Structures are given as structure tokens and as C-alpha cells.
Amino acid sequence: MLKLALIFLVVGLILGAMGFGGIGGAFVGIAKILFFLAIALFVIFLILALVAGKAVT
């Protein structure tokens, strides 16, 4: 998912530099949403792993 966010960010920046500001801004917005979604999923799975993990004895 982070790879997709990076791809959308790069494409958005290239489109913005070429003068396609509306489409470039949309791509950057999608990249931001994907980035924060990936971070949220990482935190959720980290908490689940810590809570459900078994203690090694």
C-alpha cells in the first residue's frame, strides 16, 4: 500500500510540474489517503500482535 502511495505521489508531482494541476492534486490527495490508511493499518496490526501474542516461557 505504501508503494501505491509513492506511485500516486510521484505521478501527481509530475502532472503538477507539467501544468495539469487539477489531476495532479487529485493524485497527491489519493497518495495522502493511502499513506495514512497504511499507517493506521500498521498501528492496528501492531496493537493486535502485542495483545494476542503469547509469552515465551
Question: Each residue of 1-57: pLDDT tens digit?
Answer: 889 888 998 999 999 899 888 888 899 999 999 999 999 999 999 998 888 877 666
Q: Which domain, by its residues, includes 28?
A: 2-52
CB atoms within 10 A of CB 1: 12
pLDDT at position 2, please?
Answer: 85
CB atoms within 10 A of CB 34: 19
Q: Does 47 map to a domain?
A: yes
Q: Does 21 map to a domain?
A: yes
Fill in the amino acid letter for 22: G
Q: Does 26 map to a domain?
A: yes
| H helix runs in the chain, sequence order | 2-17, 21-52
The number of domains in the chain is: 1
Q: Does 57 map to a domain?
A: no
pLDDT at position 55, please?
Answer: 62
